[in-house]
Structure 1
């Protein structure tokens, strides 16, 4: 399955598929066999980089797709 990243309204980034997550040093997080999880984007999770729901009622973003301008060369 292709990796899919969903930007949720007022919340996390949901990642699904075949993926690995590494820290700044390249160390792999142990995901316990999960193929779906949510990453924090509000900064309030006590389990960063993973979402723990702390954003509820404290984070406002309406996620709607748009096109980026062409890449500068």
Structure 2
């Protein structure tokens, strides 16, 4: 297998490594996940200084509530605000020097609940 053996000419990354550009790693054959009782689920992964990658069964709508057909089950959504194909990522974040915060600005509710439970036990 060559370093670009996926048929798209892009470098193959080890499964344990973060892709160099997640928008390049998206395939149309992503698995559709179903949660409890068969309800659709989606996973949203923020990539370091890059897009939000959405995988699974999701619905994307514009500000007026009109559905946007992404044409696939996995998409990269722009976080830098400079993409020419918004809401999708076009890789502009790499050229613009976009840097995302590494952690949420304030604790998430679930994290706060876990922290309080640990304090109560200790």
Q: Do they superpose with TM above 0.5?
A: yes
Which of structures 1 and 2 has the larger relative contact order (alpha carbons within 8 angstroms, sep 6+)? 1
Q: How many residues align?
A: 69
**1:21 and 2:32 matched:** no
Unaligned 5+ runs, structure 1:
none
Structure 1 runs, 4 residues or longer, greater than 6 Å off: none
Q: Is 1:8–1:63's contact at 8 Å kept on the other side of the alignment?
A: no
Residues 7-49 of structure 1, C-alpha deviation per residue, up to 9 Å, x if partnerless? 11010000000011001111001222x0101000101100011
- Backbone CA RMSD of aligned residues: 2.0
Larger radius of gyration: 2
Unaligned 5+ segments in structure 2 are 1-32, 34-40, 113-122
TM-score (norm 1): 0.81
Matched residue, 2:50: 11
